[in-house]
Structure 1
Amino acid sequence: MNSPPPSRGFEQVPVIDVRALVDSSSTLAERQAVAEQMGAACRQSGFFYVVGHGVDEALQRRLETASRRFFALPVEEKLAIRMARGGAAWRGYFPVGGELTSGRPDRKEGLYFGTELGPEHPLVRAGTPLHGPNLFPQEPSSLREAVLDYLAALTRLGHSLMGGIALSLGLEEDHFSAGSMADPLVLFRIFNYPPGPDTAEDGQPAWGVGEHTDYGVLTLLEQDEAGGLQVKSRADGEVRWIDAPPIPGSFVCNIGDMLDRMTRGVYRSTPHRVLNRSGRDRLSLPFFFDPGWNAEIRPLEAPALRDTTTAEDAHQRWDQRSVHTFQGTYGDYLLGKVGKVFPELRSEVLSNG
């Protein structure tokens, strides 16, 4: 049996034009050609830029403007929609230092959003974490519409990209949209990284967010021109951090732990981090397109994975934990991970549940 190579070094994050995946008039051959590029990127770096995605630029600028207006408000006004008021839905605002990565406070503030669900939804009625209504501020009032429009646009793009991922694995194009991601868990964050010193009080780098991998299947990141995102490249025992600078009109796309598990490590969830050295605020908008809460996560039986054994790489992972030993639903995995990011909030949610 063949195992994926233990490490794959790379020098830069590739750029992929995905217009064939979002254009209903494209041929299967055209979509397959894009899928092959995506598959190569998922094997090599786990990251790639997406261009030709068709998301309205005016919508993106509208969302950015409203987001900057919100973060410019006094902290007291922003705390009116603090996450503690979102309950089990895990929505709202957190201040700088309110989120942890590997137990260390991140130097960023942010807003948590997700699919807008009313009280009648079965998962909301059951008190399922990370499901429910969003918390929107009174000002700027334009943020609500911009966020909901953006969620709809990125959800459509997410399904198109997962069609490409399916083709890259030799599966039917609708494999994910008809299966584990038929009702995807959609989560969205808007982060503001304030400027500051490169070094924290303890002498460690003052990361906006420290080294981590994403939890789910697919992340689409819109970042402003400040930069600061770095992706980990490891080859022959040597670690290098590769810059992923902003490219106008693009999203940075990366795969998460669950796709790593589904592909037995052939497609890697690559560690990444952020350090804002721009001297000004950095705006970052990551969109997470993931399996349904109750979806069982198992290795795929895919032609491209035939005769492939699981690549066990816990010793190389940022948290020293294997995604391949996990058994259960995506909800099980996600709650355990997010609970470490907001331990106090997790305790409060569970105690009230």
Structure 2
Amino acid sequence: MNAVPVAAEFDRVPIIDVRALVEPSASLASRRAVAEQLGAACRESGFFYVVGHGIDAGLQARLEESSRRFFALPLEEKMAVRMALGGPAWRGYFPVGGELTSGRPDRKEGLYFGAELPPTHPLVRTGTPLHGSNLFPREPAGLRDEVLAYMAALTGLGHALMSGIALSLGLDADYFAARYTADPLVLFRIFNYPPGPELAEDGQPVWGVGEHTDYGVLTILKQDDAGGLQVKSRAGGQVRWVEAPPVPDSFVCNIGDMLDRMTRGLYRSTPHRVRNRAGRDRLSLPFFFDPSWTAEVRPIDSPALEGAASDDRSERWDGQSVHAFRGTYGDYLLGKVGKVFPELRAEVLSSK
């Protein structure tokens, strides 16, 4: 077995104009040119900014304003849509400290959303985790429509970006859509990171979210102007944390564990973390574009991946190899999310 390909050392996250992927009239040559940039970013850092994405700026601004208004509400009003009321769909609000990374509470609060599915949907009827209806708060009144419109818009962007990533691997543009994301599992989070001390009572660092990788295929993140996102760079055994500061009218994108698995580690799901040092609240809106729940994710058979390795334990933040996993994406996701919300996972398992 070949050695694990360690991502090249990088000191910045590249900015890529993806206009050619989202405009139907763009030529194949221009799409391939963008795909080449995406491939380089996936190999070197696993992170990239996208501009020229076509997502309505007005919708983004309205959603951000409504999100801030929600987090400014009294705790008892936010708890009216707490996650415990969402059942196996795992939707709703959690307070600061309610989510764990590596067993430690994060300093953030958040709202969890997903595809809006009726009770008659087959996966909802069988109690499939992470599927169902959302818990929308009464205030702000416009949040429901803004969230649904935003998820629809970013689902389209996710398909476009994955077509570029497919081209970067020498595959047909619809490779992922045909096999994994025709009906993607889309999850959307709105996080608020309040300011606070950098050390806990036990002397350990307090992170907005600790070091982790994302689980699926692609994350598309809208962040405000507070900063605080850091991406792990490694070369020669030395670790360096690279800032991913806000870039106007952009999204920060990163690949997840399942794309790492599909590409045999050529495209790496890079660890990242957040610490809010702005002295004020930090707003973050990650959107996860992932394989369908029942998809069995397999390595891609492509000449572009010849020689790629499949043992990543020594490089992974958690010591767990995504390449050793067997099962569906739903199996993988349930195991991971259950560690973030252990009480909810226990409740879901006990109901089966």
Could you tell me whether the CA contact under 8 Å between 2:110 and 2:192 is conserved in 1?
A: yes
Is 1:26 aligned to residue 38 of structure 2? no
Counterpart-to-counterpart distance in 2, 1:233 and 1:109: 27
Is 1:165 aligned to residue 144 of structure 2? no
Is 1:194 aligned to residue 197 of structure 2? no
The amino acid of 1:12's aligned partner reads R
Counterpart-to-counterpart distance in 1, 2:283 and 2:77: 19
Could you tell me whether the CA contact under 8 Å between 2:7 and 2:268 is conserved in 1?
A: no
Equivalent residue of 1:332, what SS?
helix
Counterpart-to-counterpart distance in 2, 1:21 and 1:318: 32
Equivalent residue of 2:79, what SS?
helix
The correspondence of residues 209-248 of structure 1 with structure 2, limited to 5 A, is: 209-248=209-248
Is 103-112 or 170-179 further displaced after alignment? 170-179
Counterpart-to-counterpart distance in 1, 2:286 and 2:329: 19
Counterpart-to-counterpart distance in 1, 2:169 and 2:265: 13
CA deviation after TM superposition for structure 1 residue 136, in Å: 0.2
Could you tell me whether the CA contact under 8 Å between 1:13 and 1:244 is conserved in 2?
A: yes
Is 195-204 or 309-318 further displaced after alignment? 309-318
CA deviation after TM superposition for structure 1 residue 312, in Å: 1.7
Equivalent residue of 1:239, what SS?
strand
Counterpart-to-counterpart distance in 1, 2:109 and 2:62: 20
Counterpart-to-counterpart distance in 2, 1:309 and 1:206: 36
Equivalent residue of 1:160, what SS?
helix
CA deviation after TM superposition for structure 1 residue 2, in Å: 5.9
Counterpart-to-counterpart distance in 1, 2:272 and 2:138: 34
Is 1:348 aligned to residue 323 of structure 2? no
CA deviation after TM superposition for structure 1 residue 218, in Å: 0.1
The amino acid of 1:288's aligned partner reads F
Could you tell me whether the CA contact under 8 Å between 2:16 and 2:37 is conserved in 1?
A: yes
Q: State the match for 1:114 in structure 2.
A: 114
Could you tell me whether the CA contact under 8 Å between 2:4 and 2:312 is conserved in 1?
A: no
Structure 1, residues 137-178: CA drift from partner, whole Å, max 9, x if none?
011111000000000000000000000010000000011111
Q: State the match for 1:301 in structure 2.
A: 301
Q: State the match for 1:179 in structure 2.
A: 179
Is 38-47 or 7-16 further displaced after alignment? 7-16
Runs of 4+ in 1 over 3 A off after TM superposition: 1-4
Q: State the match for 2:292 in structure 1.
A: 292
The amino acid of 2:184's aligned partner reads P
Q: State the match for 1:330 in structure 2.
A: 329
- How much is the aligned-residue C-alpha RMSD, in angstroms? 1.0
Counterpart-to-counterpart distance in 2, 1:62 and 1:91: 21
Q: State the match for 1:42 in structure 2.
A: 42
Number of aligned residues = 352
Q: State the match for 1:5 in structure 2.
A: 5
The amino acid of 2:324's aligned partner reads T
The percentage of aligned residue pairs carrying the same residue is 75
Is 1:98 aligned to residue 101 of structure 2? no
CA deviation after TM superposition for structure 1 residue 5, in Å: 2.7
Counterpart-to-counterpart distance in 1, 2:47 and 2:170: 20
The amino acid of 1:328's aligned partner reads G
Could you tell me whether the CA contact under 8 Å between 1:113 and 1:134 is conserved in 2?
A: yes
Is 1:127 aligned to residue 141 of structure 2? no
Counterpart-to-counterpart distance in 2, 1:257 and 1:57: 30
CA deviation after TM superposition for structure 1 residue 197, in Å: 1.1
Structure 1, residues 236-266: CA drift from partner, whole Å, max 9, x if none?
1000000000001000000000000000000
Is 17-26 or 4-13 further displaced after alignment? 4-13
Name the TM-score, length of structure 2 as normaliser. Answer: 0.98
Counterpart-to-counterpart distance in 1, 2:99 and 2:176: 31
Equivalent residue of 2:179, what SS?
coil
Q: State the match for 2:16 in structure 1.
A: 16
Q: State the match for 2:311 in structure 1.
A: 312
Q: State the match for 2:80 in structure 1.
A: 80
Equivalent residue of 2:221, what SS?
strand
Structure 1, residues 197-244: CA drift from partner, whole Å, max 9, x if none?
111211111100000000000000000000000000000100000000
Could you tell me whether the CA contact under 8 Å between 2:229 and 2:244 is conserved in 1?
A: yes
CA deviation after TM superposition for structure 1 residue 3, in Å: 5.3
Could you tell me whether the CA contact under 8 Å between 1:266 and 1:311 is conserved in 2?
A: no
Counterpart-to-counterpart distance in 2, 1:205 and 1:26: 47
Is 1:206 aligned to residue 206 of structure 2? yes
Counterpart-to-counterpart distance in 1, 2:32 and 2:241: 31
The correspondence of residues 148-163 of structure 1 with structure 2, limited to 5 A, is: 148-163=148-163
Structure 1, residues 297-336: CA drift from partner, whole Å, max 9, x if none?
110012311x224242212211111000001100000000
Counterpart-to-counterpart distance in 2, 1:251 and 1:37: 16
Any gaps of 5 or more consecutive residues in structure 2? Answer: none
Could you tell me whether the CA contact under 8 Å between 1:4 and 1:308 is conserved in 2?
A: no
Counterpart-to-counterpart distance in 1, 2:65 and 2:173: 36
Could you tell me whether the CA contact under 8 Å between 1:213 and 1:269 is conserved in 2?
A: yes
